[in-house]
Amino acid sequence: MIDINFLKKNPDAVKENIKKKFQDHKLPLVDEVIELDVKRREYIQETESLKSQRNKISKENGMLFGRMKKSSDEAEKAEIQKKIDENTATVTSFADKMAALDADLAKVDARIREIMLTIPNIIDPDVPLGPDDSHNVEVQRYGEPVVPEFEVPYHTDIMAKFNGIDLDSARRVAGNGFYYLMGDIARLHSAIISYARDFMIDRGFTYCVPPFMIRSSIVDGVMSFAEMDAMMYKIEGEDLYLIGTSEHSMIGKFVDQIIPESTLPQTLTSYSPCFRKEKGAHGIEERGVYRIHQFEKQEMIVICKPEDSNYWYDQLWQNTVDFFRTLDIPVRTLACCSGDLADLKVKSLDVEAWSPRQKKYFEVGSCSNLGDAQARRLKIRVDGKDGKYFAHTLNNTVVAPPRMLIAFLENNLQADGSVRIPEALRMYMGGKTELR
C-alpha cells in the first residue's frame, strides 16, 4: 500500500506505474481517491465547525444559567429560559448532523482504504516491463546444466523405484494434490529441510517456528485480496487462515510494533508447512509433486531500514543460489517483469533449478522486496533518531521440498538408477553417499 500523501502529490507518477503494471482498469481509482480525500477533509472540517459552534453555545448556556439564577425578574428569567431552550435545540440538531457526518466519513474512509489496498506499489526502476512471466529476464546462470546420456525418468517414477511415494493412497485419503513420502525419499525430504535450517543459521539468521494459522487482519496486511482468494484456506467458523508460506506469520509477528532502530536488521529463517489452494488448471509437467496443496518450506525474512533493503534483497537471493549449488544443482536467476509482480512488491527475482529431464529450468524459489507496503498495512514502524518511520520487509525461499526433490533427484541421478548424495547433505542422511 503506497502512502496516500505520495499519491496526492504525484498522481501522474502513480498512474504511470499502473500502466507499467498493465492494469489500466485501475487508472480511474487515482482520481477517485483524490476526490474522496477532498470530500473526507470537507466532512472533517464541517464536523470541527459544528463542534466549535456547539462548544460556544454550551458556554453561552452556562452563562445564561448563571444569569437566570441571579435574576429575580420572572419575565427576564422566562426570556433567558427561552434562549437556553433554543440553544439546546440547536445543539441537538448539531449532534444529529455530526452523527450523519461521522457515518459519511466512515464510508469514505472505507472506500479510500479499499482503493489504496488495490493500487499497486511503486515498482523499482530496474524492473523489466512486460505483461506476464513470459517477459521475465534471465540475469545469470550458476553451474553447468547437464543432460546425461541416459534417460532421466519422471520424478515420481524415480521415487517409486525407492518405494518412496504413494499418490494413490493420498488421493483416497485427501484427494489430488497430496502425497505420502516413504522411506529414503521421506528421509531425504527431511534432510534437505534440516540442512536448509542449519545453512541459514550459519549465515547469521535466527531460526523460528511460527504459527501455522493467522487472523484475517494479518492476511490483509501481507498480501492482496487476489492472492488471498487464490491461495488461502479459511478455517470454517473461525477468524483463521492456514498459511501459504511462513512469510505471512513471520511478517505478522511485528504487527503494531515500534521497533528500535538499533535492533535492525531483523534477519529470521523459519520452518513451516504451507497450504495452498492452487486454483486453476495445471499442465502435464505439474503432475506428481510439482504443484500441490501441502508442502514444507524453509523461508527467510528481513525487517530493515529503507536504505538497506536493496542490500538485503541481493543477500537473500544469493543465499538460495548458494544453497542449491552446495547440492550440485545448476540454477539461474530471473528478474520478474512488471506484469508478473504481485501488487505489494517493489521487485522480485525468481531462482530456477535445472531439470535434465525437461531440458529447461523451473522455479524453486522467489525473492521479493516489498518496500514499506506490508509495514504500512500492519503498522510496523521503526523508532529512529529522527523520528518514526515504516520498516521495509523482504522475503525469500531457502528451499521448498518436495518440489525441490525433483531438481535434486534429476541432477543427482546416476546411470545405474542410484542417486548420489552430495557431501553437504550426508551428515543428515546418516552418512549415506548414495541411495540405491
3-state class (DSSP) for residue 361? strand
- Domains of the chain, start order: 4-116 (1.10.287.40), 133-435 (3.30.930.10)
- How many whole angstroms separate alpha carbon 376 and alpha carbon 379? 5
- How many whole angstroms separate alpha carbon 201 and alpha carbon 226? 34
- Assigned C-alpha cell, 177: 494434490
* Pairing of β 387-390 and β 392-399: unpaired
pLDDT score, position 85? 81
Q: Indicate if the alpha-carbon torsion angle 408, 414, 416, 420 is positive or negative.
A: negative
CB 376 within 8 A of CB 388: no
3-state class (DSSP) for residue 401? coil
Helix (H), strand (E) at residue 99 = helix 74-116
Residue bearing cell 489430488: 176
- How many whole angstroms separate alpha carbon 345 and alpha carbon 340? 10
* Pairing of β 347-355 and β 360-369: antiparallel
Identify the CA nearest to 408 among candidates 140, 181, 189, 143.
Answer: 189
pLDDT score, position 281? 41
- How many whole angstroms separate alpha carbon 365 and alpha carbon 422? 20
pLDDT score, position 55? 85
Identify the CA nearest to 196 among candidates 366, 314, 324.
Answer: 324
Our CA angle for 223, 286, 197, nearest 5°, is: 60
Residue bearing cell 523508532: 383
3-state class (DSSP) for residue 1? coil
CB 9 within 8 A of CB 122: no
pLDDT score, position 137? 97
Helix (H), strand (E) at residue 69 = helix 27-70
Return all residues near 177 (Cβ < 8 A) that are at least 6 apart.
278, 291, 292, 293, 294
pLDDT score, position 280? 54
pLDDT score, position 83? 82
- How many whole angstroms separate alpha carbon 12 and alpha carbon 129? 18
pLDDT score, position 136? 97
3-state class (DSSP) for residue 325? helix
- How many whole angstroms separate alpha carbon 233 and alpha carbon 404? 23
pLDDT averaged over consecutive 10-residue blocks of the chain (436 residues)? 93 97 97 96 93 85 80 80 83 87 94 94 96 96 95 95 95 92 97 98 98 94 78 93 94 96 97 85 60 93 97 98 97 97 95 96 95 95 95 97 94 96 97 95
pLDDT score, position 286? 55
Answering whether pTM is above 0.85, one says yes
Return all residues near 290 (Cβ < 8 A) that are at least 6 apart.
155, 282, 362, 403, 406
230 alpha-carbon distance from chain centroid: 13
- How many whole angstroms separate alpha carbon 346 and alpha carbon 335? 12
pLDDT score, position 283? 46
- How many whole angstroms separate alpha carbon 195 and alpha carbon 234? 32
Q: Which amino acid is at 342?
A: A
